[in-house]
């Protein structure tokens, strides 16, 4: 485990992706075949199910460390990570043992079937033979995420650099159907178990933010205007009875959206289309927050499928029955796309609506109201434009609606996780409701490290509680928060739900007397 | 017996009419050690340990009215018997023992149990009341031995040299810098920042021998310091000076480095858990050894540590600080850099 431990250490200490990639490549050069495969499995979510419950591990640790439970919890809220807390609280090991990663994994798979007593014997014996860093890793191998900022894409980039094989093919390989015991490292990289010809995606065509006046774009007749939907941009590939869904981050996300796969499978044509994956219920687009609940799940449960059904708004056609049409004009592609969806109908697919307009003037009003349909602005696409590779200025523009802002006061602070676990980074904000305060939003992002450090220090000094992970603070610090939309909500105590709230800036110039009231917040809802 | 009063200016000895590590200027200040949050400027008279005298003069001013004692030497002040006892925190650091009509109170200042080869090692003092710090008052804080730390730091330097990198350590000028010097002694040439160099001189002039180091002059030659060892104060993290150091590998030495999140937050290449404070077991050992009837907990995890002491049958109180927030804030910043 020493090599793996060194790898984790090297990855977590750096913020630089290149350094992370170098560390991963180094591991692939020194580790045994099976250890390499396990690394890929662990970093792509192909891990075996948790063999030992975390509540049991906590109980055993409290026993060994001989501390009261409240002190364990206090330690946990300072550290912010269960596996790390356990590793730090356990007494020093009396033995030392070195086993390669795949042996640990085999043991953990085997121990899942055992009784709690046998599990305890195994875990305690392991803890007693590992140092703090190795214990942390052992605990993470049992369950929990490493939170070290290695995405599938980073892993694939490392593999690509190591092998010279195209990154997208590697992505398909590692996301494909394989297990550590059924394939060699080289066969996995070479994609012996997949058919990359079928899954190969095209690079996405990307838009720049609009940087000129609408009138300077020329004749309105030359432009196709659509809503800019706020979901997940996806490329859906159907070739020879197989379906693949690629995200804009070049990750294969096919298994996350079974309803899309099912619908596409029934289509007569083969094609590659570009669209937006959205949570759609009763033909209305839901908030991105809702869609988020569907993402990166190992299992998409039946309940989740019912609660948050997913659909696709189709933007573009890239390939039709093996013919690449990206070099045809936008209007040609659109016509072909319409034909495809006349031949193949499905409830979960809808063409992205083209907005009719005559004069540029009209678009301002339309853009300002895009929030009402949970869109985030407009897309302006030139009708004679080809489907470009990547970002190219001039043919596609995104024109986003300005965010809404309100002034709020911080009332709770909580520590973050991973790199942020030592600081109070997660805040709950309130506005005034008569002489009381009412919670309106939680936000995690938007401040600099320096501001977070300053706020953390303030929280330490102004917290009302002294124990536990959440600190109630004096309502003193005022922030301006920005958000993309607002709706009435029965689930929230304040009666409103904000869409994608984030901190715009810390208003040191304002006091709690200057913050918004719940009535002024509700007044922002235009479609009451 | 009520020997002490906790006031806005700091801990006040009622019969003795003096303050211990006061926050605001007073007439008579007894100082546990030379760190800025304990030895503040503006007092009319200072009393400290012999080894802290040069440090205080260096940091506060040569002209201050100052008097010093050896460890275990006693001085009567308004009927209170005052003496200093080793605290093992930094050079010259002392616990302050007060005795009045047979009643003994010990103020720990900052302390560390484990000997570090630089400061005089901690000695437990029996007392009726003990005022303890609690910077690292959680059981997750467990320090390694000096030998283990030495190996860790030295291995890191050797590894850096193999990769043609210069090893840059960050540690508070007073205390941590001298500790790092000791830990990496005899590995290769050590260069220190002027702030550290000047303090080292002040310490050496008072008769204490420190490991050899050279001043890192502002016009240093890159070729001269390449692959060597450099010690800088934490304020220079991300500074232009750091950027000029060829192939710098950076490391913070602090007790806070025990937690991964802190290491990653700082964005350095390595974090070594080197602390001048007592760890959890150290705090417990120290408190128990005093056999005190009453323990006051200050500086850090007051709430947690005093609750735990009460759990195990030791009567403890949280010492609420009533100091101005501005001062606290400034000092907290220093503490972070120092710990």
Mutate to test the interface with B, among A26, A78, A145 (most CBs of B within 10 A): A78
> What topology does CATH give the domain A205-400?
D-amino Acid Aminotransferase; Chain A, domain 1 (3.30.470)
Closest residue to B303, CB basis, from A65, A417, A466: A466
Distance (Å) from the alpha carbon of B270 to chain A's nearest alpha carbon: 7
pLDDT score at A418? 67
Q: Do A74 and B267 touch (CB under 8 A)?
A: no
Place of tokens 């605290």: B87
Cβ–Cβ under 8 Å, residues A285 and A312: no
Q: Average pLDDT for residues B28-40, to the nearest whole number?
A: 94
Give the 3-state secondary structure of residue A397.
Answer: strand
**Chain B positions in Cβ-Cβ contact with residue A80 (cut-off 8 Å):** 259, 261
E-only strand ranges, A418-523:
424-433, 436-443, 470-472, 478-483, 485-488, 496-499, 502-506
Q: Is the pLDDT of residue A369 over 80?
A: yes
Q: Do A89 and B139 touch (CB under 8 A)?
A: yes
User: Which two tokens mark A143?
Assistant: 């369950």
User: CA nearest B339: which of B276, B265, B248?
Assistant: B276
Cβ–Cβ under 8 Å, residues A345 and A351: no
Q: Is the pLDDT of residue A528 over 50?
A: no
Q: Chain A to chain B, count of Cβ pairs less than 8 Å apart?
A: 80
Give CATH 2.40.50.140 domain extents, chain A. 404-527
Place of tokens 């806070």: B256
Highest mean pLDDT among A174-183, A333-342, A448-457, B324-333: A333-342
Task: Decide which of B169 and A374 is more confident.
Answer: B169
**Chain A positions in Cβ-Cβ contact with residue B256 (cut-off 8 Å):** 422
State pLDDT tens for residues A115-151.
999 999 999 999 999 999 999 999 999 987 777 778 8
Of A428-437, B254-263, B315-324, the least confident: B315-324
Give CATH 1.10.3260.10 domain extents, chain A. 2-142
> What topology does CATH give the domain A404-527?
OB fold (Dihydrolipoamide Acetyltransferase, E2P) (2.40.50)
State pLDDT tens for residues B109-154.
999 999 999 999 999 999 999 999 999 999 999 999 999 999 999 9
Place of tokens 């050896």: B70
Neighbouring CB atoms inside 10 A of A131's CB total 12
d(CA A23, CA A11): 7
Mean pLDDT over the full length of chain A: 91
Residues of B numbered 5-64 whose beta carbons fall under 8 angstroms of chain A's beta carbons: which are they? none
Tell whether B221 lies on the interface with A, counting CB pairs under 8 A. Answer: no
Distance (Å) from the alpha carbon of B62 to chain A's nearest alpha carbon: 34
**Chain A positions in Cβ-Cβ contact with residue B258 (cut-off 8 Å):** 88
User: CA nearest A19: which of A150, A141, A178?
Assistant: A150
Closest-CA residue of chain A to B328: A461
Closest-CA residue of chain B to A457: B329
Distance (Å) from the alpha carbon of B233 to chain A's nearest alpha carbon: 18
Is residue A228 flagged as an active site residue? yes
Neighbouring CB atoms inside 10 A of A313's CB total 20
d(CA A516, CA A408): 6
CA atoms lying within 13 Å on the CB side of residue A268? 7
**Chain A positions in Cβ-Cβ contact with residue B311 (cut-off 8 Å):** 68
> What topology does CATH give the domain A2-142?
DNA ligase i, domain 1 (1.10.3260)
User: Could you give all domains of chain B from N- to C-terminal order, each with its CATH number?
Assistant: 4-140+276-324 (3.60.15.10), 146-272 (3.40.50.10890)
Give the 3-state secondary structure of residue A72.
Answer: helix
**Chain B positions in Cβ-Cβ contact with residue A425 (cut-off 8 Å):** none
Tell whether B320 lies on the interface with A, counting CB pairs under 8 A. Answer: no
Confidence of residue A422 (pLDDT cuts 50, 70, 90): confident
Distance (Å) from the alpha carbon of A2 to chain B's nearest alpha carbon: 16
User: CA nearest B305: which of B125, B135, B143, B95?
Assistant: B135
The length of chain B in residues reads 339
Tell whether A78 lies on the interface with B, counting CB pairs under 8 A. Answer: yes
pLDDT score at B325? 34
- Out of A20, A36, A140, A228, the active site residue is A228
Q: Do A457 and B332 touch (CB under 8 A)?
A: yes
**Chain A positions in Cβ-Cβ contact with residue B304 (cut-off 8 Å):** 71, 74, 466-467
Distance (Å) from the alpha carbon of B142 to chain A's nearest alpha carbon: 8
pLDDT score at B205? 87
Cβ–Cβ under 8 Å, residues A210 and A397: yes
pTM of the model: 0.82
Q: Is the pLDDT of residue B339 over 60?
A: no
State pLDDT tens for residues A283-335.
889 888 788 888 877 788 899 999 999 999 999 999 999 999 999 999 999 99
Mutate to test the interface with A, among B145, B260, B272, B321 (most CBs of A within 10 A): B260
d(CA B52, CA B202): 10
Of A227-241, A249-263, A405-419, B161-175, the least confident: A405-419
């Amino acid at each position: 485990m020493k090599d793996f431990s060194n790898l984790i250490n090297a990855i977590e200490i750096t913020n630089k992706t290149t350094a992370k990639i170098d560390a991963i490549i180094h591991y692939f050069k020194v580790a045994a075949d099976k250890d390499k495969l396990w690394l890929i499995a662990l970093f792509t979510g192909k891990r075996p199910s948790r063999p030992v419950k975390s509540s049991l591990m906590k109980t055993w640790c409290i026993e060994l460390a001989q501390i009261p439970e409240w002190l364990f919890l206090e330690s946990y809220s300072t550290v912010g990570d269960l596996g790390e807390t356990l590793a730090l609280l356990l007494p020093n090991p009396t033995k030392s043992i070195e086993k390669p990663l795949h042996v640990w994994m085999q043991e953990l798979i085997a121990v899942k079937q055992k009784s709690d007593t046998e599990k305890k014997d195994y875990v305690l014996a392991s803890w007693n033979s590992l140092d703090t860093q190795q214990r942390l890793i052992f605990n993470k191998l049992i369950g929990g995420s490493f939170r070290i900022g290695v995405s599938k894409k980073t892993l694939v980039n490392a593999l690509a650099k190591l092998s010279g094989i195209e990154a997208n093919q590697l992505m398909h390989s590692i996301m494909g159907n394989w297990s550590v015991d059924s394939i060699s490292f080289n066969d996995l990289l070479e994609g012996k178990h997949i058919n990359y010809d079928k899954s190969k995606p095209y690079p996405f065509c990307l838009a720049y933010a609009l940087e000129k006046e609408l009138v300077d774009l020329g004749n309105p007749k030359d432009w196709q205007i659509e809503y800019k939907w706020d979901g997940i941009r996806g490329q859906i590939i159907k070739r020879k009875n197989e379906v693949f869904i690629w995200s804009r981050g070049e990750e294969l996300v096919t298994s996350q959206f079974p309803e899309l796969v099912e619908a596409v499978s029934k289509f007569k044509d083969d094609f590659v289309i570009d669209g937006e994956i959205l949570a759609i219920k009763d033909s209305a687009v839901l908030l991105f927050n809702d869609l988020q609940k569907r993402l990166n799940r190992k299992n998409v449960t039946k309940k989740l499928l019912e609660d948050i059904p997913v659909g696709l708004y189709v933007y573009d056609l890239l390939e039709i029955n093996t013919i690449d049409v990206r070099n045809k004009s936008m209007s040609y592609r659109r016509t072909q796309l319409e034909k495809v969806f006349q031949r193949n109908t499905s409830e979960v697919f809808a063409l992205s609506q083209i907005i009719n307009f005559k004069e540029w003037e009209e678009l301002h009003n339309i853009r300002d109201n895009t929030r009402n349909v949970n869109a985030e602005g407009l897309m302006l696409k030139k009708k004679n434009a080809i489907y470009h590779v990547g970002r190219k200025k001039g043919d596609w523009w995104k024109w986003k609606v300005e965010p809404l802002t309100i002034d709020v006061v911080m009332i709770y602070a909580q520590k973050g996780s991973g790199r942020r676990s030592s600081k109070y980074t997660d805040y709950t904000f309130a506005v005034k409701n008569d002489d009381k305060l009412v919670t309106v939003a939680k936000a995690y992002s938007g401040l600099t490290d320096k501001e977070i450090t300053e706020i953390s220090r303030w929280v330490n000094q102004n917290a009302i509680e002294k124990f536990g992970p959440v600190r109630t603070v004096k309502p003193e610090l005022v922030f301006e928060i920005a958000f993309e939309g607002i709706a009435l909500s029965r689930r929230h105590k304040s009666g409103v739900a904000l869409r994608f709230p984030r901190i715009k800036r810390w208003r040191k110039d304002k006091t709690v007397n200057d913050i918004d009231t719940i009535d002024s917040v509700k007044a922002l809802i235009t479609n009451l | 017996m009520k020997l002490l009063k906790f006031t806005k200016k700091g801990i006040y000895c009622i019969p003795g009419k003096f303050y211990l590590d006061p926050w605001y200027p007073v007439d008579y200040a007894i100082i546990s050690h030379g760190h800025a949050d304990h030895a503040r400027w503006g007092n009319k008279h200072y009393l400290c340990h012999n080894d802290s005298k040069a440090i205080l003069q260096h940091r506060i001013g040569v002209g201050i009215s100052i008097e010093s004692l050896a460890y275990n030497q006693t001085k009567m002040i308004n009927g209170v018997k005052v003496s200093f006892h080793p605290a093992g925190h930094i050079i010259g650091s002392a616990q302050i023992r007060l005795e009045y009509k047979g009643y003994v109170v010990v103020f720990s200042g900052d302390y560390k149990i484990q000997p570090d080869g630089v400061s005089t090692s901690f000695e437990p003092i029996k007392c009726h009341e003990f005022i303890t710090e609690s910077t690292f008052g959680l059981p997750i804080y467990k320090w390694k031995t000096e030998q283990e730390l030495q190996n860790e730091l030295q291995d890191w330097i050797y590894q850096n040299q193999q990769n043609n990198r210069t090893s840059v350590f960050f540690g508070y000028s007073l205390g941590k810098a001298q500790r790092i010097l000791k830990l990496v002694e005899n590995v290769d040439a050590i260069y220190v920042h002027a702030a550290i160099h000047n303090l080292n001189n002040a310490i050496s002039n008072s008769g204490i021998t420190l490991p050899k180091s050279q001043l890192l002059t502002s016009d240093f030659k890159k070729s001269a310091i390449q692959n060597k060892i450099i010690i800088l104060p934490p304020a220079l993290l991300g500074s232009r000076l750091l950027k000029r150091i060829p192939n710098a590998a950076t490391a913070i030495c602090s007790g806070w480095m025990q937690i991964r999140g802190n290491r990653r937050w700082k964005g350095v290449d390595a974090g070594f858990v080197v602390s001048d404070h007592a760890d959890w077991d150290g705090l417990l050992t120290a408190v128990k050894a005093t056999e005190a009837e009453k323990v006051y907990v200050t500086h850090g995890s007051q709430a947690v540590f005093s609750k735990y002491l009460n759990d195990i049958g030791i009567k403890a109180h949280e010492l609420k600080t009533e100091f101005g927030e501005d001062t606290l804030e400034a000092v907290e910043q220093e503490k972070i850099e120092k710990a």
